[in-house]
């Protein structure tokens, strides 16, 4: 089996990106409950959905690469 590991700086950068995406998810979720405009609410909901998928893919990537 060919197992590849990420270098420490790659793990750190991916962790920083994951932290940023979680912050974006939190903000879009909270703002979605406050906005009145239906089009803006729809945009925020799409962002929440896409960001959740991106976070999940990053977590899977980190797990598959042996990063902690």
Could you report the per-residue pLDDT of 8-18, keeping only the tens digit for each? Answer: 898 899 999 99
Given this model, what pLDDT does residue 39 score? 97
Given this model, what pLDDT does residue 55 score? 96
- CA distance readout (Å), 38 to 32, 34, 55: 10, 11, 26
Per the prediction, the chain carries an average pLDDT of 89
Instruction: Identify the residue with better confidence: 14 or 68.
Output: 14
Name the residue with tokens 């998810």.
25
Given this model, what pLDDT does residue 6 score? 81
Is this model's pTM higher than 0.75 or not?
A: yes
Given this model, what pLDDT does residue 68 score? 46
């Amino acid at each position: 089996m060919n197992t590849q590991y990420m270098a420490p700086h790659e793990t750190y950068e991916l962790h920083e990106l994951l932290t940023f995406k979680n912050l974006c998810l939190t903000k879009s979720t909270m703002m979605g409950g406050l906005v009145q405009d239906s089009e803006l609410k729809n945009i925020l909901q799409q962002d929440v959905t896409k960001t959740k998928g991106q976070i999940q893919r990053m977590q899977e990537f980190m797990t598959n690469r042996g990063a902690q």
